[in-house]
Amino acid sequence: MDSAPQHANVLLAPVEQSRNSQRHFSAVIIDIGIAALVGIIGGGVLAAVLWIAPYTRVVVKNQPMSTAIKIHSARLEKDGFIVLYANTTTGSQVVGLSTRLWAGYYRDIVIPLTRETVYPDGVREFVIRVFVDDGNLVFDEIIDTPVKTPSGAIYQKRFWFLYPDRLFHQWYRTFISSPLSVLADTLIP
């Protein structure tokens, strides 16, 4: 008789372990569901804040050589201009200018180059800056105020013309110089 209860306990042990593993699995699934729900709600709130809150942002991507620059998207907090600079070994100079833009969101803006730019020789990179118009409807680099980042630096976006023989090298250089910016430009229109 003593052996019968021992066998019964031995048989119940695997069933109890199975129930514990099922409870653990259910708890993991519930935790994953809660984390996903919090992520979705948090992402929605962040997207709504970014959509409503006023800020200035320009998305320009590396592009093939051309006589015009294509701005993928731009969001301006105040009326102003998008200005294209060519950074050379001797300094920077204005080579392109948008028309005056009202505050708001824009897509596929084309800025023609206003002067002959020496593409391969001397030009290291191009920089987009945004200036707030002073109210006279004309761009003046001295009078109009450049948009600044929250840290106080002048807001600017760098890009390069893509040369077919150096595509990967240029993309890698862009990514290494500012990986978060590349990621944000890819994810946020």
For the record, the structure tokens of 66 come out as 């051309």
- Determine which helix (DSSP H) or strand (DSSP E) holds 139, and give its type and residue range: none
* Alpha carbon 50 to chain centroid, angstroms: 12
Q: What is the pLDDT of residues 65-76, one digit of tens each?
A: 778 888 988 989
The DSSP output letter for 152 is: S
Q: Which of 149, 131, 150 is nearest to 141 (CA)?
A: 131
Among 116, 121, 76, 66, residue whose Cα is nearest residue 98: 76
pLDDT category of residue 94 using cuts at 50, 70 and 90: confident
The answer to whether the CB of 56 falls within 8 A of the CB of 147 is: yes
Q: Which of 29-33, 86-90, 147-151 has the lowest mean pLDDT?
A: 86-90
| pLDDT the model gives residue 120 | 46
**Distances in whole angstroms, Cα of residue 62 to Cα of each of 66, 121, 129, 134, 170:** 11, 18, 16, 30, 8
Report the pLDDT value the prediction gives residue 146, as an integer from 0 to 100. Answer: 92
Residues 6+ positions from 113 with CB-CB distance below 8 Å? 67, 68, 69, 84, 95, 96
Q: For 121-178, how does the pLDDT look when each residue is reduced to its tens digit (9 = 90+)?
A: 556 678 899 999 998 999 988 899 999 988 888 988 888 776 666 666 666 776 777 6
